[in-house]
Structure formats: structure tokens, C-alpha cells
Chains A and B, each alone.
Chain A
Amino acid sequence: MGLLSKKDAKLITDPLADNNPITIQVLGICSALAITAELKASLVMGIAVLFVLGVGNVVISLMRNIIPSKIRIIVQLIVVASLVIIVDQVLKAFAYELSKTLSVFIGLIITNCIIMGRFEAFALGNGPWKSFLDGIGNALGYAVILLIVGFFRELLGSGTLFGIPVLGDPIEKTGLYATGYENNGFMLMPPMALIIVGLIIWVQRSRNKALIED
């Protein structure tokens, strides 16, 4: 990579797998799982967090020397809240239906622990460029998990991907449904998202024994 030094590249690639914000750091599960019943919603949520975390990390990193440490949480909350308002207004203007599906969960990005966690752990102690890369990396790690969960839930739950039927038509009994396959409506229920994340953690930790907890 010509643009990024090895250290900088690591800031982006680390959170994708071995230091994933959801499965390893356990941050940001709050607003993540309820919206993963559809792949489209997961993608939009991922992009929203990417924007908020990337820009927010830079802003906080630029202000890190002038924020008094006693009121830093409130300052951070105000920065995130302003960014989230931008995302919310843009979604309402250009994708109204989607913003209805995501409802309060866009607002809940404000209290998404990934954002506060990265502000506290990284942006307050590092320069803007590094913080930007760290923000992008962590948001991508978050988006990857959302997309995996969304993929399985939409495929097994309604037989579609991005709303396009891929397994045939369940009513006309074409494609896979002709062999007697049925959609598993249970996958659309909220608890299944948790179980899928549990299984992802299982797979990840079996592959990388260093991550196993006692």
C-alpha cells in the first residue's frame, strides 16, 4: 500500500476480524441486532455508522486538547447527536420508507457503545488521520457482522436478498420450494439475531484459539 503505512493499514484491518467491535470488544450490539431482519436495512445502518464514526472520530481528535476531561462525555454526546441528526434528515429526505423501518434505531446510534468506546479509547489520544482510519476500520467491522447476520436472516427467513427472491416463489412452488423447502419465519424474530451472533462468535473463536475466554 502506497498511501497507508503498515501501521495505518493495521488500524483498518484489525477491527475486521481479530479485534471486531461486536464479537470481541462487545460494543454496539444495542442498536445493531433489531434491524438485521433485512439485508438492505443492515447495509444502510452500516453506512450510517461508518459516516458517524469516521467524522466523529476526526472531530473529537481535533478537539482533544481543548475538551476539559470532566465534561467530555457531554461534549462527545453533542458531537454524535449532531452527526446522527444529519444522517436522520438525509434518510428521511431520500429513503423515507427505509427510515420508517429503522425508526428509532437511527437515533440510537447516539448511544451506540462503539462510538463512545472509540472516542474514549482512541480519538482522545491520537491524531485526526489515525483516528479517521480507526473509525473507518471499526465501522467496517461492525458493518461486516451486520451484513452476515442480515444475509442469513433474510435468506432463511424470507428467501430473498435485498428484497429480490433468490430461492424461487413460495406460493407458486418454484425453485427450491418445489422440493418441499419452506421459509423459516422464526428467523425474522428478534431472538434469532442473538443466536446467529452467538454462532458467529463460536466459529470465530474455534478458528482463532487465542480469543477463547476462561
Chain B
Amino acid sequence: MEHIELFFKSIFIDNMVFAVFLGMCSYLAVSKKVSTAVGLGAAVIFVLAITVPLNWLLDQYLLQPGALVWLGPEYADYDLGFLSFIMFIATIATMVQLVEIIVEKFSPSLYNSLGIFLPLIAVNCAILGGSLFMQSREIPSLGLAFNYGISSGIGWFLAILAIAAIREKIRYSSVPPALRGLGITFIITGLMGIGFLSFGGMLTGGDEEEKPATKIETTLKKVDVEEAQKEEIAKNTKTIQ
């Protein structure tokens, strides 16, 4: 159950592009044609599915406070958390290189379609972001980390596919000249993000969103009640006078 929940949550609610703006650079640069967008999207899913679980292992057994306890009880006090940025990015950069070499060796056809995007991916914020969010959201198990990697990759894939399709079609409409190209892409992404906000209630049934709203209402009501009481008191004092 928690697997399904995490899966849909990372695709729709916490979508990499629309909710946290990760990987926007390549999202904007490579979304002019659907075919290249598909290639990059597939590469992102692939790399996220490998790096997030790997970095989860690193985090669990090396970086977290007390994670070194498997070396012996005297290491329990160590906290290497400050090293996480450098460890994560090094893992990502080496994994990307490794994947590139392996793919080139065993599947030249896949390499031809994915290959040019792989070096781009090492510096894609979505990849490092996936690992950092995995760390800050404290994902509890390796399976879930793998799931999180794949599903946030799929979310990114969906986003770049959608924007590429829209950009192919928008060429035929008359956009104001100053907005053409980049400007309209930003605004469309914003509108798509607003659309994706509506998925927010999918898992919680809207509970999470309603709580702060009711709080505000109650404070307003209190003020109203107080004012009404004041008015009543004022009226009463007038009648007494």
C-alpha cells in the first residue's frame, strides 16, 4: 500500500517539475521536439532509478548520525552528514559515466538514442534533487527508495513529454512576439503546474489542505463574535444611558 501511495504521490503531487522546479534547465532546453524529449526523459528515469537507491545505502550506512555503528560501537557518535552533498554528487557523476560506458558496450542502439543525453544528466538538478529529497523525507527502506527514484523519474518524463507536445503545436498559434519561445513556455509550465495542484487532494482526501483553512475561519469568527459582543454591549450601554 505504501508503495502505491509513494508511487502516485511522487508522480502527480510532488512532481519534480511542477511542484519543486527541478531539472528546469534541461526541461526548457530539450523540449523543442517530442522525440528528443522522450530520449532525455527515459535517461532521467534510468539514472534516478540507479542513483537514488545507491545514495540511500550511502546515507544509511555512512552519512547519517550514528550510521557508522556497524564498524563498531566506538563509531556511534560520528555524524558525517555534512559530507552528503559531495558524496551524492560524486556517486551521481561516476554512475552516469559508468552507465554510459556499459550502455555503449552492450547496446549501441540504445546508446545512440540515449547516449548524448547522459553527460547532460550528471548536472541535471532532478537527479541530485531526487537524492536530497530522499534524504530529507527520510524514506524508510531500500525498496521505497528505488520506487521513489523510478516514480519521480516518470513524473519528470511526463512533464517534459507534455511540454514538448505543447511546444510543437504552439508554433501554429499567434503568440505576442515578445513572449515567443521562452516566455510562453514559462507561462504554460505555470498553468500546467496549477493543473497539477489539483492532484493535491488525491491521497489525503483534501484533509491536509482543509486544516489551515478552518483555522483561519475560526480566528475570523472569533473576531466577528467579539465585535458582535462589543456592539451589543455598546447598544446596551446606550439603552441604559
- B contact residues around A33 at 8 Å (CB): 21, 24
Interface of B is mostly: helix
Interface residue range, chain A: 35 or more
Most chain B CB within 10 A, of A111, A192, A201, is at A111
Of the candidates A107, A111, A190, A206, the one whose C-beta lies within 8 Å of that of B20 is A190
Q: Does B22 contact A (CB under 8 A)?
A: yes
- Chain B 193-205, CB within 8 Å of chain A: the 1/0 string? 1100100000000
Q: Is the Cβ of A191 less than 8 Å from the Cβ of B193? A: yes
Q: Known contacts A26-B182, A88-B82, A190-B18; decide if A198 and B190 are in contact (CB<8 Å).
A: yes
Q: Is the Cβ of B125 less than 8 Å from the Cβ of A31? A: yes
Q: Does A194 contact B (CB under 8 A)?
A: yes
Q: Is the Cβ of B178 less than 8 Å from the Cβ of A206? A: yes
Q: Is the Cβ of B28 less than 8 Å from the Cβ of A29? A: yes
Instruction: Enumerate B146-203 residues with CB–CB distance to A below 8 Å.
Output: 176-187, 189-194, 197
Q: Is the Cβ of A29 less than 8 Å from the Cβ of B123? A: no
A to B CB contacts below 8 Å, 13 in the list: A23-B182, A30-B24, A73-B119, A81-B89, A104-B129, A107-B128, A108-B132, A110-B128, A111-B127, A189-B194, A191-B194, A191-B197, A206-B178
Which A residues contact B (CB, under 8 angstroms)?
Answer: 23, 26-34, 73-74, 77-78, 81-82, 84-85, 88-89, 103-104, 107-108, 110-113, 116, 171, 189-195, 197-199, 201-202, 205-206, 209, 212-214
Of the candidates A108, A189, A206, the one whose C-beta lies within 8 Å of that of B197 is A189
CB-CB nearest 4 A-B residue pairs: A191-B193, A213-B181, A198-B186, A194-B190
Q: A95 to B93: give the CA distance in the assembly, Å.
A: 31
Q: Is the Cβ of B85 less than 8 Å from the Cβ of A111? A: no
Q: A84 to B29: give the CA distance in the assembly, Å.
A: 25
Instruction: Enumerate B100-144 residues with CB–CB distance to A below 8 Å.
Output: 119, 122-129, 132-133, 135-136
- A contact residues around B22 at 8 Å (CB): 30, 108
Of the candidates A28, A31, A107, A195, the one whose C-beta lies within 8 Å of that of B190 is A195
Q: A98 to B126: give the CA distance in the assembly, Å.
A: 23
